[in-house]
Structure 1
Amino acid sequence: MKFAVTSKGDSKSDKLVDVIKTYLLDFELEYDEEEPDIVISVGGDGTLLYAFHRYSSRLDKTAFVGMHTGHLGFYADWTPDALEKLVIAVAKTSYKPVEYPLLEVVVHYQGEEKATRYLALNESTVKSIEGTFVMDVEIKGEHFERFRGDGLCISTPSGSTAYNKALGGAIVHPSLEAIQLAEMASINNRVFRTVGSPLILPAHHTCVLKPVNGQKFQISVDHLTLLHKEVKSIQYRVADEKIRFARYRSFPFWKRVHDSFISE
């Protein structure tokens, strides 16, 4: 089996990476950063996000496992004190594959047939560069509302605990194939009106945002934020691809939620 290891970049994570690589090579596994069967992320959720985007072109061939060197993460379930157990599990046992849905983001441009496609593990946000953010929201090809406010956030179920939660969105279990649309400071008065609540859309529903004011927008995909010009529309849906995690032990989602937000 071929493996790769990614690091947060701090000294603690780098040292753990060196140990993991040495142990797995001793077990006669092959180190391959280009075409790994399994990627071990050492750091936190941000490190695993980086690894996901690095290997997003081979999601059907690569599984991910995370070790956190700081606070408990939603993707990184192993701790440094369990390093030897993780190494033995990777080298000697078969993992249980656990798949999470992803968000497909397709940006179309004025006067161009080509579009830009992204995959998000957590979320995508859209904000205007100048003036009030005004966007027509279509769901399943039908006009739903005209949104005015600071912006919109579209998240995956696993990403629902991140920025989406801070916006008042629901926490969605990642076994559900869905995406969630949450508002950022919508303008609601006697003239302008939005639904005012997060929307959870199933896999067969597509959400399309069409600009009303302006064509330049700041669009984020997880940790990547880019300025897009001449935007005609932004399409969101549950992606055909999924991320696959290598589970060697139980890692219940609701326990992660409890430990992250409730447990002292």
Structure 2
Amino acid sequence: MRFSVLSKGDSTSNALMQRIITYLQDFELIYDEAEPDIVISVGGDGTLLYAFHRYSSRLDKVAFVGVHTGHLGFYADWLPDEIEKLVIAIAKTPYQVVEYPLLEVIIRYRHGGKETKYLGLNESTVKSTVGTLVMDVEIRGEHFERFRGDGLCVSTPSGSTAYNKALGGAIIHPAIHAIQLAEMASINNRVFRTVGSPLILPAHHTLMLKPVYVHDFNVTIDHLNVMHRDVKSIQFRVADEKVRFARFRPFPFWKRVHDSFISGEG
């Protein structure tokens, strides 16, 4: 088996990374940054997001596992003092692959040019570069509403516990192949009106945002933040691709939610 390890970059994470590499090589596993079968991230959920984007062209061939050196993460669920147990599990036991849905984002431009495609593990946000965001929202090719406000957030089920939750969105189990649209401070009065609630769209529905006045936007994809100019439309849907996680023990999604937001542990 070939493996790669990515670190958050702090001294604790770097030291753990070196231990993992040494231990796995002792078990005669091959360290291969270019074409790993398994990618181990050491740090937190942000480190795993970085690992996901680094290997996004190999999603059908690689499985991810996270070790957290800070607080408990939704993706990074192994503790530093469990390193030996994790190494033995990787080296000696077949692992279960758990697949989570991803977000596909396609940005098209007014004057032609090549469209830009992204894959998101958590979410994508759209904000105006100046003032209020004004966007026509289409669902399955039909106009739904004209949004005015600070911005819009489209999240995956596994990302529903991140920025989406802070915006008042629902927490969705990753077994449900869907995307969620949540508003950021929408303007609602006698003149302007939005639905005012998060929308959950199934996998066969496409969400389209079309600019009304300005055409330059700040678009985030997970931790990436890119300015896009002269935008014609931004399309969101459940991606054909999936992210694969290597599971060596049960860690149910609702237990993660409980431990992260209710119990105060971790």
TM superposition score normalised by structure 2: 0.99
| CA RMSD, Structure 1 to Structure 2 (Å) | 0.5
2:252 paired with 1:247:
no
* 1:218 counterpart residue number: 218
* 1:145 counterpart residue number: 145
8 Å contact kept, 1:107–1:235:
yes
Unaligned runs of 5+ residues in structure 2 are none
Please list the CA deviations of residues 82-135 of structure 1 after superposition, one character each: whole Å capped at 9, or x if unmatched.
110000000011000000000000000011152000000000000001122100
2:87 paired with 1:84:
no
* 1:132 counterpart residue number: 132
* 2:161 counterpart residue number: 161
Kindly provide the amino acid, as one letter, of the partner of residue 225 in structure 1.
Answer: N
Kindly provide the amino acid, as one letter, of the partner of residue 121 in structure 2.
Answer: L
Kindly provide the amino acid, as one letter, of the partner of residue 190 in structure 2.
Answer: R
8 Å contact kept, 1:125–1:152:
yes
For residues 17-32 of structure 1, what are the structure 2 equivalents within 5 Å?
A: 17-32=17-32
For residues 174-213 of structure 1, what are the structure 2 equivalents within 5 Å?
A: 174-213=174-213
Q: Secondary structure at the match of 1:89?
A: helix
Question: Identity over aligned residues, as a percent?
Answer: 77
Instruction: Supply the distance in 2 between the matched residues of 1:4 and 1:185 (Cα, whole angstroms).
Output: 41
Deviation at 1:213, TM superposition (A): 1.7
Instruction: Supply the distance in 1 between the matched residues of 2:106 and 2:140 (Cα, whole angstroms).
Output: 15
Q: Secondary structure at the match of 1:243?
A: strand
* 2:38 counterpart residue number: 38
* 2:116 counterpart residue number: 116
Q: Secondary structure at the match of 2:186?
A: coil
Instruction: Supply the distance in 2 between the matched residues of 1:166 and 1:100 (Cα, whole angstroms).
Output: 21
Kindly provide the amino acid, as one letter, of the partner of residue 51 in structure 1.
Answer: A
* 1:95 counterpart residue number: 95
Stretches (4+) displaced over 3 A: none
Instruction: Supply the distance in 2 between the matched residues of 1:83 and 1:63 (Cα, whole angstroms).
Output: 18
8 Å contact kept, 1:215–1:229:
yes
Instruction: Supply the distance in 2 between the matched residues of 1:141 and 1:65 (Cα, whole angstroms).
Output: 38
Unaligned runs of 5+ residues in structure 1 are none
8 Å contact kept, 1:152–1:182:
yes
8 Å contact kept, 1:206–1:236:
yes
Please list the CA deviations of residues 165-217 of structure 1 after superposition, one character each: whole Å capped at 9, or x if unmatched.
00000000000000000000000000000000000000000000000020100
TM superposition score normalised by structure 1: 0.99
How many residue pairs end up in the alignment? 264
* 1:75 counterpart residue number: 75
Deviation at 1:30, TM superposition (A): 0.4
Instruction: Supply the distance in 2 between the matched residues of 1:102 and 1:234 (Cα, whole angstroms).
Output: 16
Instruction: Supply the distance in 2 between the matched residues of 1:213 and 1:4 (Cα, whole angstroms).
Output: 46
Q: Secondary structure at the match of 1:150?
A: strand
Please list the CA deviations of residues 224-250 of structure 1 after superposition, one character each: whole Å capped at 9, or x if unmatched.
001100000000000000000000000
Instruction: Supply the distance in 1 between the matched residues of 2:123 and 2:228 (Cα, whole angstroms).
Output: 17
* 2:235 counterpart residue number: 235
Instruction: Supply the distance in 1 between the matched residues of 2:46 and 2:233 (Cα, whole angstroms).
Output: 28
8 Å contact kept, 1:160–1:170:
yes
Q: Secondary structure at the match of 1:185?
A: strand
Instruction: Supply the distance in 1 between the matched residues of 2:206 and 2:113 (Cα, whole angstroms).
Output: 20
2:31 paired with 1:2:
no
For residues 40-79 of structure 1, what are the structure 2 equivalents within 5 Å?
A: 40-79=40-79
8 Å contact kept, 1:133–1:213:
no
Instruction: Supply the distance in 1 between the matched residues of 2:55 and 2:178 (Cα, whole angstroms).
Output: 23
